[in-house]
Amino acid sequence: MLRVQAPAGKNQALGPSLAIGFRPNASAVEWMATIGLLTLFAIAITWLSVALGLTSPTPEAAGNAPMPLILLPFLGSGFVPTDSMPTVLRWFAEYQPFTPIMETTRGLLLGAPIGNSAAIATAWCTGLTALGYLWAKNIFNKN
């Protein structure tokens, strides 16, 4: 049985955000949707990391294998609007998984319209989870 334990400081991102002036005005339903989306995203990244770790020859390489995933939020709409980016970077930012997840989370917490970004974010999370799980299972069964 797989057991997952939440980190001790699970509100580490929310506390500083509130301290510097972020004031979410989300309803209880929007908070639940945000928590659900972020949970789906965490599961997707976890399975991708498991698969990347299983492909690594050493424990040190396994620890560093998911590092490129850290750069993806910086190449999305988390810090600047995609409209202000150069053409190639804008195209990449609009079609990578972090952008719809960030747009949906931002919209839910601020009570703004989210359009179809929730469906796209959920599809990305579901697809990445399935890909990571099947890849990890395949690698594990070969070993």
Q: Which two tokens stand for residue 50?
A: 């498991």
What is residue 67's predicted lDDT score, i.e. its pLDDT? 87
What sections of 1-143 are H helices per DSSP? 14-19, 28-55, 59-64, 68-71, 87-94, 98-110, 117-142
Whose structure tokens read 């995609």?
82
Q: Which mean pLDDT values do the consecutive 10-residue runs of the chain (143 residues) have?
A: 42 74 90 95 94 92 87 86 90 92 92 92 97 96 86
Q: What is the DSSP letter of 96?
A: S
Kindly state the tokens that stand for 97: 């998984």
Do residues 136 and 47 lie in contact, with contact meaning Cβ atoms separated by under 8 Å?
A: yes
- pLDDT for 120 equals 96
* Nearest-angstrom CA–CA distance, 9 and 133: 27
Q: Which burial class, exposed, middle or buried, applies to 24 when counting CB atoms under 10 A from its CB (0-12, 13-18, 19+)?
A: middle
**Sign of the alpha-carbon torsion through 75, 134, 141, 50:** positive
pLDDT in the model for residue 9: 46
Q: Could you tell me the two tokens for 15? A: 């506390």
Residues 6+ apart with CB under 8 A from 133: 47, 51
Give the integer Cα–Cα distance in Å for 122 and 103.
Answer: 12
Give the pLDDT confidence score for residue 5 in this predicted structure: 41
